[in-house]
Structure 1
Amino acid sequence: MSPKTVVAVERARLLEASMSRRDDPSAAVSEPRVITNAGVDEGVPPELLQPDNRQHLADRTHQEAS
């Protein structure tokens, strides 16, 4: 899958999970998730990556498009 597809799938999964939590008021509210040391191949949405990892993902995506 392309990186954009992976990100889109992950966002859809997170959105679905958040919507199902709204339907279940007994579900515990979790803290915001911050990914500190995730690899860019793990399908982590870029907005959750640390700035260095986000730049690496952008550079790599640009290289793959070339």
Structure 2
Amino acid sequence: MYPKTVVAVARARALEASMSRRGDPPAAAPEPQVITNAGVDEGVPPELLQPENRQHLADRSRQEAF
């Protein structure tokens, strides 16, 4: 094997060993929730709606105000 390969294999084995010594793996960071198929009448907070749905909700709110 090439020297760089030997070093890479050694690092990979050391990393694998250190990971297996840990109890539980770290939890994945929660991804932001985006509601894609909710209607604007369903009481979904505007910040969770997709941009086009937010605009529709804003337009409807303006129309209802008149």
> TM (normalized to structure 2)?
0.51
Q: Which residue of 1 aligns with 2:65?
A: 65
Gaps in structure 1 of 5+ consecutive residues = 1-29
Which amino acid in 2 is paired with 1:62? R
Whole-angstrom CA distance in 1 between matches of 2:37 and 2:60? 17
Q: What 5-or-longer segments of structure 2 have no aligned partner?
A: 1-29
Counterpart of 1:20 in structure 2 is none
Aligned length: 38
Is 1:35 matched up with 2:35?
yes
For residues 61 and 53 of structure 1, what CA distance do their matches in structure 2 show?
12
> After superposition, what is the alpha-carbon deviation per residue over 1:37-64, rounded to whole angstroms, capped at 9, x for unaligned?
2100000000000000000000000000
Residue 49 of structure 1: aligned partner: 49
Larger RCO of the pair (alpha carbons < 8 Å, separation 6+): 1
Q: Which runs of 4+ in 1 moved over 4 A?
A: none
Give the corresponding residue for 1:27: none
Larger Rg: 1 or 2?
2
TM-score (norm 1): 0.51
What is the SS of the residue equivalent to 1:41? helix
CA RMSD across the alignment? 1.6
- Deviation (angstroms), 1:33: 2.2
